Amino acid sequence: MTAPVREVSIVIPTHNRRASVERTLTALSTQSYPLTSIQVIVVADGCSDGTAALADGRWPMDVRIIEQASQGPAAARNRGAAAATGRLLIFLDDDIEPSPGLVAAHAGAHAEDTAAVAIGYLPPQLQGRRDLFAMMLGAWWEAMFERMAAPGHRFAYTDLLSGNFSLSRSLFTRVGGFDETLRCHEDYELGLRLITAGARLRFVREAAGWHHEHTVLVRALQRKRDEGRADVTLARRYPQLISVLPLAAFPRHLTLRGRVLRRLALASPAAGDLMAAGCRSMLTVLERARLRARWRRLLDDLLSYWYWRGVGEALSGDSLETIRRSKAPPDSCDLDLRIGLEAAMQALDAIRPEAVRLRWGELTVGEIEPHPGAERLQGRHLPGLLRDRFAEPFAAALARAHALENAGVSKHEATVDEA
Amino acid sequence: MPTAVVQIEIDQVPRILSVADRHTRALVIARRHGRPVGGFYVSVRDGHVDMPRLHAELARAIRNKTWQWKVDEYVGAPPSAATRPECTVAICTRERPDDLTRALQAVCALRPQPAAILVVDNHPATSRTREVVDGFPMVRYVREDHPGLDAARNRALTEARTPVVAFTDDDAVPETDWLEHLLRPFADPRVRCSTGLTLPLELETPAQEWFERYSPFGRGFERRVFDGTRHDPVAVNLVGAGVNMAMRRSVLDELGGFDEALDAGTASRSGGDHEMFGRLLAAGHRIVYEPAAVSWHRHRRSWTELRDTLYGYGVGVYAMWTRRLLFEREPAVLRHAVRWLRHGQVPSLWRAVRRDPDSIPLDLQFAQLRGCAAGPWAYFRARREQREGMARPEAAQLPSGVGLGGPVSEGAGESEGRAPRNNKKPA
């Protein structure tokens, strides 16, 4: 007996969150997209709460539950994708409550572009939490989507969020799926391979799913530690990424306390952990006293401490310098904006460089820096960059060009007069 | 010395600008393609604006912007945001039929038209407001018997059936495209509120001139985004004013609406709008000041009214700070109070005592200081009065904790009882 072919396969990895999965499935059963064309595969990764019992035939769409011993979300997603029969794969996390139009919006994003990777919108739902951390968390998510929604955004591997994205099954198979050895940033790593393979990332706001966000501070700190570890792995495997990973940046923006914490994280973690614990209790005091700016700085320091702590663990005695060294020069080009916006955009589309020096005649406007792990530059990136990042230097260059021209004219007039 | 208010389009400055003979100077509002870009005062002689001076001031006002505009022209306008949210325009009013008529004429002329127009008649003594509204068939009349501007604002939020409610005062005249600009920021889901630029409709009396100098509603010609995750929620003066703002209706549920112990009609006299701005920022939301959303406000004409207004501002600021300090335990309030005293009020008072030219008249300053001193007690009194008002027999069914925002659903509204519902205009 062969399984019927469905248009869309939705893969949901989960670990002991039965009620949450139930909410996701309930929301999926009210999709505007034809339910008969939807296949849902829940991969219960080491679940002991009876998640498997959810496949009890009550759903109006095809729901299948695969059980496996705990192997992490990357392996669970691959397992689900392997069992999928749909032309399109949508990956959802188990804490997402899809809006009725989510599947239709994902499907629509692939209608014309088989190389598309659609990243859906995850409006955070903070369950009425009012604490400063929840507030920051909500703002952090929204800021990320705001960046992606900006017209002409230059997508990078870090934009691939595994909680709500879709791509064709053939593309997923072609790049080899998720890397199961990673327990963190496995989405970034897939994003990098997708961008390298020429996939086109795009943000689809209509593919919205409420994200029931329960992350608390302790969890966020633990997560930072995992990110530190994962970044070392990424840096070793993809040396070209090093310049954009936080671990390569000299922590100039850190406060003195932050630098001390970083040093401790790498050199004497036992003392560092003690100090970090002290800082954490300090956070509560600052929040009570409504000292928001101080609270924020301390939180930043703490997050970076745990990041460095993870980096230190993953380096296990290796020096940071050994991975920091290799760096390839980017391929860059010059672009004279005097040819007009249309022509400049076409030029970028023809060359697709990694970096660009923007000029106005002889005058320098600025440099669009290389961004390893991001799309190569395209014409559509230019207007937004000029508007947001280069508005001031561009205006200054125009003013200077005007002044030079006038000076040239008056000099010319002067020569005429003399003659 | 009455001041004329004139507008110029900077690409088409006329050779001669004439104003009425009585004017001795002019407030010039400079616009570019309709967008306000600067404002400055120029002297007037024999009914003519001093044009060389005007050009000099204009050049100074837009000096830093001209090349930026060239960049904008080169890059082109950003793709305009998605559709604007549906919106209700609400006017909260009390016994000012003449002003209200003018405001309603302006609101009915808005393009695009709002989904609904609502007049909230606050604790009326006569039926004059109702009679004015009867003359505008597209406007809905609602009576709110609980006194206070914030109670009326909450009522407007409760009554509205649209995701956004835009507020304008009965003594303000919004421009035709006001709503279009005021609603644009709401494409960003983090924006809960937007404010616009409010300019003086006339500056004919000394009271109006001093008001515009001392506490203007306008907050400059640059768009600003106030982000609650970064901005100090006590520093809300630059955000804008309630005369020209739009608010997501969800603030009723999220934050409990406006504090009904604040603002006009209560003992605390003002401060309801700023208190809401502060609470929005403290909750991490965003507020956008959008100067393209222009409304013209007729300042109070008489000196007594001006003094009274400034007294009320003093009361309101300190009433609002009292709430923030005691009920939201926000110690930063103390720092702000000290800073205002040290860098604002005391030096200004000193200049007035020394009779420096252009110093603010002493009686206005004293009025405000007296207001500040009275503010905390006024707030407690307003809270008590509000509680007592709530406990009136006819309001007995009121669920506890209401007052800061009422129930949202239509059915619940019926049982609320503090205001006669079903006051909808007969169709």
ipTM of the complex: 0.88
Structure tokens at A71: 């192997």
Answer yes or no: CATH 3.40.50.1370 is held by domain B87-304.
no
Give me the residues of A, 344-403, that contact B with CB < 8 A.
383-384, 386-387, 391-392, 394-396, 398-399, 402
| Choice between A341 and A239, residue whose per-residue pLDDT is larger | A341
Quote the pLDDT of residue B82: 64
Q: How do residues B315-372 score in pLDDT, each as one tens digit?
A: 999 999 999 999 999 999 999 999 999 999 999 999 998 988 888 899 999 999 999 9
Residue A374 three-state SS: strand
Query: What is the rounded average pLDDT of the residues A356-363?
Result: 94
The fold adopted by the segment(s) A8-213 is Spore Coat Polysaccharide Biosynthesis Protein SpsA; Chain A (3.90.550)
Question: What single letter denotes the amino acid at residue B294?
Answer: V
Confidence band (pLDDT; 50, 70, 90) for A240? confident
Q: Do B283 and A130 touch (CB under 8 A)?
A: yes
Quote the pLDDT of residue A326: 55
Domain boundaries, chain A: 8-213, 219-324, 332-418
Residue A322, pLDDT > 90, answer no
B175: how many CB neighbours lie within 10 A of its CB? Answer: 21
Min CA distance, A27 vs chain B (Å)? Answer: 22
Confidence band (pLDDT; 50, 70, 90) for A269? very high
Confidence band (pLDDT; 50, 70, 90) for A248? confident
* Minimal-distance CA residue of chain A relative to B71: A395
* Minimal-distance CA residue of chain B relative to A293: B230
Q: Residue A95 has what DSSP assignment?
A: T
Q: Do A399 and B67 touch (CB under 8 A)?
A: yes
Quote the pLDDT of residue A361: 92
| Cβ contacts from A onto B, under 8 A | 60
Quote the pLDDT of residue B409: 34
Output helix, strand, coil percentages for chain B, rounded to the nearest 5. Answer: 40, 20, 40
Domain boundaries, chain B: 3-75, 87-304, 319-390
Please, are residues B330 and B234 in contact by the beta-carbon 8 Å criterion?
yes
Structure tokens at A121: 């919108």
Q: How do residues A197-237 score in pLDDT, each as one tens digit?
A: 999 999 999 999 999 988 899 999 999 999 999 999 999 89
Residue A267, pLDDT > 60, answer yes
Residue A71, pLDDT > 70, answer yes
Quote the pLDDT of residue A410: 61
What is the C-alpha separation between B231 and A109, in angstroms, rounded? 37
Q: Do A337 and B74 touch (CB under 8 A)?
A: yes
Q: Do B229 and A130 touch (CB under 8 A)?
A: no
> What phi, psi does B5 have (nearest 5°)?
-110, 115
* Minimal-distance CA residue of chain A relative to B75: A383
What is the C-alpha separation between A358 and A395, in angstroms, rounded? 13
Quote the pLDDT of residue B406: 34
End-to-end CA, chain B: 48
Q: Do B71 and A386 touch (CB under 8 A)?
A: yes
> The pTM is what?
0.90
Please, are residues A32 and A100 in contact by the beta-carbon 8 Å criterion?
yes
Quote the pLDDT of residue A262: 83
Low-confidence ranges of chain B (pLDDT < 70): 81-82, 391-427
Confidence band (pLDDT; 50, 70, 90) for A250? low
- If interface means Cβ-Cβ distance under 8 Å, which residues of chain B face chain A? 67-68, 70-72, 74-76, 78-79, 188-190, 227-229, 232-233, 283-284, 329-332
Q: Cite the DSSP H helix spans in B326-392.
A: 332-340, 346-353, 362-390
Across the interface, which of B76, B79, B227 has its CB nearest the CB of A341? Answer: B76
